[in-house]
Structure formats: structure tokens, C-alpha cells
Amino acid sequence: DAKTTQPTSMDCAEGRAANLPCNHSTISGNEYVYWYRQIHSQGPQYIIHGLKNNETNEMASLIITEDRKSSTLILPHATLRDTAVYYCIVRVERSGNTGKLIFGQGTTLQVKP
Amino acid sequence: DAGVTQSPTHLIKTRGQQVTLRCSPKSGHDTVSWYQQALGQGPQFIFQYYEEEERQRGNFPDRFSGHQFPNYSSELNVNALLLGDSALYLCASSSSHGSWGYTFGSGTRLTVV
């Protein structure tokens, strides 16, 4: 079973920041938080991941609470192309990239003009 | 730089038939994972191949089998197809060494009638 809880759907106005929450209250100390998104009819696309510090890359920012029980993915200036299903996943990062990704239902983000 | 390539993109089969799906991993990747995604659901892990062996398996029956070739490409075979096997089948590749990252293909849409 997925170890994360996300809202089923969210709307965001184009050009505004999209803030997608995720609860992972049972996260272990060695588990990372990963975010993927899946645009209709495509495979999931990696966005960002982090352990306990906030992370930022060219796509998004990841804010993890101090107790690590929840996190927020921030798309700073959402565009219509950001409309997708966003998945929050927790897993142990290990050398060799072995292991599976356990997807939940994800959050369907609809960016509106 | 070619990403993950899956073939065919779409497939229609009759209940009881057998099907083979193919995946070529991203250049530099040597590990292949397969996922099944039913309509409206998140991807579910089927199994992972590394060094031509099945390393991990999800909760799927023995009708689902796979193979990895020396060039790291992989096949997913499903025997005795059921209507419930209709889904998007995703292949994800990764490297057993070096930086973390899973790259997904766009999937094969299988319809069983």
C-alpha cells in the first residue's frame, strides 16, 4: 500500500503558484520523499526528491516539514502544461536503484486559464 | 539521447490469448521495471529485472512473466489474458550504479476484448 496521502484533485489559476500537499506520517528516517507527475497518456516524469531539507530545481520546490510527516510540492508559476496527476512517493534511496516505486492515487492538478 | 522506448504503443487482444510487450531502456541504464496502470489508478509494480534475472516481484500472478536480454532490453509476457488485464503497461529503466533516477516510457495500451 502507498505510504502517502494526497488530495484527489486541485485547481490552480494559470500563472499562480500551485501548492500540492502530501502526508507521510509513517515515514522512516532513511526514506526520501519523491514527486512524479503523469501527463495524460504519458509515462510518469520525475520532478524532485528530498530527505529533510527543502529542495529546489528548475521545475519545482519541495518543502518538507521539520518532523518530516508532510511535504508540499510547489510549482511557482503554473502553466496549462502543468495539468497532470502528481504522485508523492516515499522510499529508501539506495545504491543500485533497486526497489519499486509505490504509487498512490495521486492528485489531479487542473490549471485553468 | 533516446529515452525509454516501448512497443507496441497500442494492442488489442482476445481473452485467453498471450501477449508480449517490449522495452528498450534509456542509454546507460541496465535495470528494467514493469508497471501496470489500470484506468484511473496509479501504476502498480509488476517486477524488476537486473543482470537478466527477476530481482523483485509485486503481487501479480504467474501469468505475468518477463525476460531481460544481454543488451538490457526487456519483455513482459502475459498468458491467458483476462479482461482485467486491460491497462497501460509502463516500463521504467534505471542504472545499478551512478546517480539515482527512474525513467519511464510512454507505455503500451493493452485492451483485452
Residue pLDDT tens, chain B, 113 long: 569 999 999 999 999 999 999 999 999 999 999 999 999 899 999 999 999 999 889 999 999 999 999 999 999 999 999 999 999 999 999 888 766 678 999 999 999 99
CA–CA separation, B77 and B90 (whole Å):
13
Query: Alpha helices of A3-70 — where are they, by DSSP H?
Result: none
Mean pLDDT, range A86-105, rounded to an integer? 78
Top pLDDT among A53 and B34 is at B34
Beta strand B108-112 with B87-94 is antiparallel
On the 0-12 / 13-18 / 19+ scale of CB atoms within 10 A, B31 is: buried
pLDDT at A2: 64
The whole-angstrom distance between A34's CA and the closest CA on chain B is 11
**C-beta atoms of A95 and B97 within 8 A:** yes
CA–CA separation, B16 and A38 (whole Å):
31
Predicted confidence band of residue A29 (pLDDT cuts 50, 70, 90)? confident
By the 8 A CB rule, do B94 and B3 touch?
A: no
- Rounded percentage of chain A residues whose pLDDT exceeds 90: 72
The whole-angstrom distance between A72's CA and the closest CA on chain B is 19
pLDDT at A10: 97
CA–CA separation, B80 and A3 (whole Å):
32
Using a CB–CB cut-off of 8 Å, the residues of B that contact A are 4, 31, 33, 35, 41-45, 48, 50, 55-56, 58, 90, 92, 94-97, 100-107
pLDDT at A53: 87
CA–CA separation, A14 and A18 (whole Å):
9
The whole-angstrom distance between A93's CA and the closest CA on chain B is 8
**With the C-alpha atoms ordered B72, A44, B22, B37, is the resulting torsion angle positive or negative?**
positive
Mean pLDDT, range A69-86, rounded to an integer? 97
Predicted confidence band of residue A96 (pLDDT cuts 50, 70, 90)? low
pLDDT at A16: 97
CA–CA separation, A44 and A36 (whole Å):
6
Q: Please state, rounded to an integer, the average pLDDT across all residues of chain A.
A: 91
Query: Taking the CB of residue A53, how many other CB atoms lie within 10 A of it?
Result: 8
By the 8 A CB rule, do B58 and B46 touch?
A: yes
pLDDT at B27: 92
